[in-house]
Amino acid sequence: MTCEHAKWWIETAVAAGVARGMVLIAAAGNAGVKSAPLYPAAKSERDRD
């Protein structure tokens, strides 16, 4: 699976869950307490198409 395919799959799964009213919690790596938010947890609703 390519990185782009994995990204598409995650975005599709998250969108399907949200459309069904699910609450989703995502963890993204372990870059330390001072790191910037990472994908997919950093993807906000306003980033949707």
Q: For residues 24 and 14, is the Cβ–Cβ distance under 8 A?
A: yes
d(CA 14, CA 22): 9
Residue whose entry in the numeric block shows the structure tokens 């598409």: 8
More confident residue, 22 or 49: 22
The domains of the chain are located at 3-47
Preceding omega of 37 cis (within 30 degrees of 0): no
Q: 11-38, pLDDT tens digit by residue? A: 899 899 999 999 887 666 667 777 776 6
pLDDT at 12: 92
pLDDT at 19: 94
pLDDT at 36: 73
Q: Decide: pTM greater than 0.85.
A: no
pLDDT at 41: 59
